[in-house]
């Protein structure tokens, strides 16, 4: 599903955020990426998510060598193959949950009625059937993140990338969100979750630990 | 749209589908509109204000063109009602600068020219001042001249009465006067009747009528018109005509024009001025047109300023919405689709302004024309041209911000607050 081989990323300032990283993640895995702040977790996730290109090395996602794809094709790959969940939710203010989720399918080529239908199904899937018409400011933090997850999975992508999805949540809602991600994994989605919380990481089937842009540990978890 | 299910690359269960078709689907036009309107919906006041800038420019231009066209239409209407075949022969000045006099027989001589259809005339009564009453000081009624008028004057110049009656065979020998529109205003004469009297040459004359403004003979607006006989008998009028109004067969206008001066005053043809008042009206319209051009320029500047406002709004919008841009990129938006979104927003902004401006400009035109009692004309070219200009401005104003938005790297866009 994902294959990083000798991937490095050097930012223009000279910071080496990824340093010769190789990693393979198989279809259907659920992986925690842990490590201290600034260790390159987000950079790695963005590289896997084709939001950014590596300085060197090859990235293969879903069988495609990212380096060979044009920006348009990468966009299509993200649109159909990858769902993103961010720490800050990135929901549109004053827009009902249903529209926020349906808007996530805007670039899928589906007609609006079908987008809304799938958005409704996705919201039901994340347990927000009763919050469809609520705007973000009327939702709790955990509910907002669920809306964002619904948006990410409404198109049924095989890969879900979550960058500190519980970072802005209290522990109870964070646990709820983790539970939801586990359910998505159980239904077949490959899930990568960045977290700096060792406890959360420890409960996932596989943990990749990073430090200073390198992978320092990669082992199966307790779960 | 409902029911038209499209085949989309949904994930099939089972083996990895390398070779998945990675062509990004195109946005439907309705979705382009929808996504272009996002900024307008989230910041309605800002959208309104920047659209307002465009609207003011377009409204100014449509209003100026509309009012000018309406006034042109009014002129055409007037000219076709008044006729363009009036030639006016006025006694000018002698070489030494004195008032020239046309001979008493001038009218009869001109009447004998073949293509001349009719002749009428007025003769200024020298030294006959016009006052409202004995008490009003002289200085207050300056500019009003007393004229002796032929009875067929109204038909010749196409004048109409605002109130009362014209002089007739009965009243033209009596102290009855018809006032020009400006005269009536200056003297403060409202009603017409036996009790309304003014002083002409020191004698009381009863006001029997008031004229509407006379487009083809503006000198009559500031005139007090009395009968020819009464002027000769009581006001010491010498019988010399001052202005001859000649209606001529349209086909022979130029020929008649050439001989009028010589016929009107054979002794001193160079002292006579011959003019065609409808030309003067059209010439005035042409001067107005120059002024219209100036106003149009002002409108165009306003429009450009409006365009700058839209550009400014778009630049700010892109800066503020970097997070949204990053999110959309992560959701599969291509650079082109981001560019399209912001171009659409800019076009929508200016189109809203343009449509609003056309409506306001049209309303101003209709209102002003109604007030002036003109036919209202809103030139279609102006409307179409205005809307086209709006779209061009929207595209130009939005292009740079849209390109900047599209060039943002998704990660940087997502990282910004
Ligand atoms: N756009 C950028 N430009 C320059 N340096 C960056 C950029 N993004 C991240 N970095 C740097 O790269 C390193 C790794 O960052 P990041 O991947 O965000 O770490 P993490 O997500 O593990 O906290 C950090 O030192 C960070 O300062
Ligand atoms: Mg991070």
Residues with Cβ within 8 Å of A38's Cβ and at least 6 positions away in sequence, in order, are none
Which token pair is B342? 């912001």
Minimal C-alpha gap between B403 and chain A (Å): 15
Q: What is the pLDDT of residue B139?
A: 53
Q: What is the pLDDT of residue B384?
A: 93
Residue found by looking up tokens 């409704």 in the block: A120
On whether the CB atoms of residues B344 and B36 are closer than 8 A, the answer is yes
Is A46 touching ligand 1 by the criterion CB < 6 Å? Answer: no
Query: ipTM of this predicted complex?
Result: 0.95
Beta-sheet pairing, A159-163 with A190-194: parallel
Phi, psi of B239 (to 5 degrees): 85, 0
Counting atoms of ligand 1 from 1, which one is nearest the CA of A45? Answer: 17
List CB-based neighbours of ion ligand 2 within 5 Å.
A 42
On whether the CB atoms of residues B198 and B177 are closer than 8 A, the answer is yes
Minimal C-alpha gap between A203 and chain B (Å): 27
Residues with Cβ within 8 Å of B58's Cβ and at least 6 positions away in sequence, in order, are B299, B303, B306, B353, B354, B356, B357, B358, B361, B386, B387, B389, B390
Q: Do A49 and B330 touch (CB under 8 A)?
A: yes
Beta-sheet pairing, B243-248 with B116-124: antiparallel
Q: How far apart are CA B186 and CA B312, in angstroms?
A: 54
Can you say how many angstroms the Cα of residue B351 is from the centroid of all Cα atoms in its chain? 26
Of B89, B62, B51, which is closest to residue B260 (Cα–Cα)? B89
Beta-sheet pairing, B203-211 with A206-211: unpaired
Q: What is the pLDDT of residue A141?
A: 92
Q: Do B18 and A157 touch (CB under 8 A)?
A: no
Mean pLDDT of chain B: 85
Q: Which of A2, A88, A109 to mutate to test the interface with B (most CBs of B within 10 A)?
A: A109
Q: How far apart are CA B158 and CA B72, in angstroms?
A: 19
Residue found by looking up tokens 């960045």 in the block: A194
Q: What is the pLDDT of residue A5?
A: 95
On whether the CB atoms of residues B64 and B288 are closer than 8 A, the answer is no
Interface of A with B in 134-193 (CB under 8 A): 151, 156-158, 188
CA–CA distance from B140 to each of A37, B81, B132, B135, B185 (Å)? 93, 35, 9, 11, 12
Residue found by looking up tokens 């209202």 in the block: B376
Q: How far apart are CA B331 and CA B160, in angstroms?
A: 76
Of B81, B122, B83, B73, which is closest to residue B277 (Cα–Cα)? B83
- Sorted by where each begins, the domain ranges of chain A are 29-46+77-220
Taking each continuous run of H as one helix and of E as one strand, the counts in chain B are 13, 11
On whether the CB atoms of residues B228 and B149 are closer than 8 A, the answer is yes
Counting atoms of ligand 1 from 1, which one is nearest the CA of A36? Answer: 22
Q: What is the pLDDT of residue B76?
A: 84
Q: Does A71 touch chain B (CB under 8 A)?
A: yes
Residue found by looking up tokens 């050439």 in the block: B258
On whether the CB atoms of residues B122 and B172 are closer than 8 A, the answer is no
On whether the CB atoms of residues B91 and B272 are closer than 8 A, the answer is yes
On whether the CB atoms of residues B277 and B86 are closer than 8 A, the answer is yes
Distance A36 CA to ligand 2 centre (A): 9
Which token pair is B39? 């900024």
Q: What is the pLDDT of residue B182?
A: 87
Q: Was domain A29-46+77-220 assigned CATH 3.30.450.40?
A: no
Of B186, B178, B189, which is closest to residue B224 (Cα–Cα)? B178
Is A41 touching ligand 1 by the criterion CB < 6 Å? Answer: yes
Polymer length of chain B: 417
Phi, psi of A18 (to 5 degrees): -130, 135
Q: In this structure, how many other beta carbons lie within 10 angstroms of the beta carbon of residue A193?
A: 26
Instruction: Classify B372 as helix, strand or coil.
Output: helix
On whether the CB atoms of residues B179 and B211 are closer than 8 A, the answer is yes
A95: buried, middle or exposed (CB in 10 Å: 19+, 13-18, 0-12)?
middle
Q: What is the pLDDT of residue B138?
A: 58
On whether the CB atoms of residues A143 and A180 are closer than 8 A, the answer is no
Name the stretches of chain B with pLDDT < 70.
1-20, 94-95, 136-141, 417
Which token pair is B209? 């009528």
Q: Which ligand is nearest to the CA of A213?
A: 1
Q: What is the pLDDT of residue B140?
A: 58
Mind listing the pLDDT tens digit of every residue in chain A (223 residues)?
Answer: 899 999 999 999 999 999 999 999 999 999 999 999 999 999 999 999 999 999 999 999 988 999 999 999 999 999 999 999 999 999 999 999 999 999 999 999 999 999 999 999 999 999 999 999 999 999 999 999 999 999 999 999 999 999 999 988 898 899 999 999 999 999 999 999 998 888 888 889 999 999 999 999 998 865 4
Q: What is the pLDDT of residue B141?
A: 60
Counting atoms of ligand 1 from 1, which one is nearest the CA of A44? Answer: 17
B67: which DSSP letter? H
Name the residue of A8, A34, A37, A40 whose CB sits within 8 Å of the most ligand 1 atoms, as the mutation to test its pocket: A40
Q: What is the pLDDT of residue B137?
A: 62
Q: Does B12 touch chain A (CB under 8 A)?
A: no
B93: buried, middle or exposed (CB in 10 Å: 19+, 13-18, 0-12)?
exposed
Residues with Cβ within 8 Å of B412's Cβ and at least 6 positions away in sequence, in order, are B322, B326
Segment holding A153, helix H or strand E: helix A141-153
Taking the whole predicted model, whether its pTM rises above 0.80 is answered as no
């Amino acid at each position: 599903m994902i294959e990083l081989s000798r991937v490095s990323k050097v930012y223009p300032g000279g910071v080496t955020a990824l340093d010769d990283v190789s990693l393979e993640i198989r279809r259907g895995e659920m992986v925690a990426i842990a490590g201290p702040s600034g260790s390159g977790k987000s950079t790695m996730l963005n590289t896997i998510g084709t939001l950014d290109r590596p300085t060197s090395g090859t990235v293969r996602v879903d069988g495609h060598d990212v380096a060979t794809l044009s920006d348009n094709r990468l966009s299509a790959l993200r649109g159909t193959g990858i769902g993103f969940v961010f720490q800050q939710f990135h929901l549109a203010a004053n827009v009902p949950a249903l529209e926020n989720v349906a808007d996530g399918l805007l670039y899928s080529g589906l007609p609006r009625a079908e987008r809304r239908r799938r958005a409704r199904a996705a919201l039901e899937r994340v347990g927000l059937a009763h919050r469809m018409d609520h705007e973000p400011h009327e939702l709790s933090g955990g509910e907002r993140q669920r809306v964002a997850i619904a948006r990410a999975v409404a198109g049924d992508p095989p890969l879900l990338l979550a960058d500190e999805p519980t970072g802005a949540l209290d522990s109870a809602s964070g646990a709820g969100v983790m539970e939801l991600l586990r359910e998505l994994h159980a239904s077949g989605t490959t899930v990568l979750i960045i977290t700096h919380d060792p406890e959360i990481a420890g409960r996932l089937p596989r943990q990749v630990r990073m430090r200073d842009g390198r992978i320092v540990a990669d082992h199966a978890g307790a779960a | 749209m409902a029911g038209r299910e499209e085949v989309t690359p949904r994930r099939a269960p089972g083996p990895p589908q390398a070779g998945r078709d990675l062509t990004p689907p195109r946005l439907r036009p309705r979705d382009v509109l929808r996504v272009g309107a996002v900024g307008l919906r989230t910041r309605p006041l800002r959208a309104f204000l920047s659209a307002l800038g465009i609207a003011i420019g377009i409204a100014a231009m449509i209003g100026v063109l509309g009012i000018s066209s309406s006034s042109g239409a009014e002129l055409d209407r007037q000219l076709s009602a008044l006729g363009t075949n009036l030639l006016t022969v006025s006694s000018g000045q002698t070489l030494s600068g004195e008032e020239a006099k046309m001979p008493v027989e001038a009218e009869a001589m001109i009447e004998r020219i073949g293509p001349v259809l009719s002749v009428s005339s007025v003769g200024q009564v020298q030294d006959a001042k016009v006052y409202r009453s004995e008490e009003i000081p002289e200085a207050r009624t300056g500019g009003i001249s007393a004229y002796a008028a032929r009875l067929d004057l109204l038909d010749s110049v196409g004048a109409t009465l605002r109130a009362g009656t014209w002089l007739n065979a009965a009243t033209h020998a009596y102290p009855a006067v018809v006032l020009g529109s400006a005269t009536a205003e200056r003297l403060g004469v409202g009603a017409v009747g036996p009790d309304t009297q003014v002083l002409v040459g020191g004698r009381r004359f009863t006001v029997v009528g008031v004229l509407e403004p006379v487009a083809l003979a503006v000198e009559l607006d500031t005139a007090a018109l009395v009968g020819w006989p009464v002027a000769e008998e009581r006001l010491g009028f010498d019988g010399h005509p001052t202005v001859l109004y000649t209606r001529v067969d349209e086909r022979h206008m130029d020929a008649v024009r050439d001989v009028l001066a010589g016929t009107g005053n054979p002794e001193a043809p160079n002292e006579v001025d011959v003019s065609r008042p409808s030309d003067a009206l059209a010439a005035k319209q042409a001067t107005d047109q120059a002024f219209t051009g100036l106003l149009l320029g002002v409108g165009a500047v306003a429009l450009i300023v409006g365009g700058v406002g839209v550009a400014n709004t778009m630049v700010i919008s892109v800066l503020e919405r970097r997070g949204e841009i990053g999110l959309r990129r992560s959701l599969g938006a291509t650079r082109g689709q981001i560019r399209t979104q912001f171009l659409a927003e800019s076009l929508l902004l200016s189109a809203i302004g343009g449509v609003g401006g056309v409506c306001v400009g049209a309303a101003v035109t209709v209102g002003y024309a109604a007030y002036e009692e003109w036919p209202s004309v809103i030139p279609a070219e102006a409307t179409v041209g205005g809307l086209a200009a709006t779209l061009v401005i929207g595209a130009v104003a939005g292009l740079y911000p849209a390109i900047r938005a599209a060039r943002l790297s998704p990660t940087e866009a997502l990282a910004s607050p």
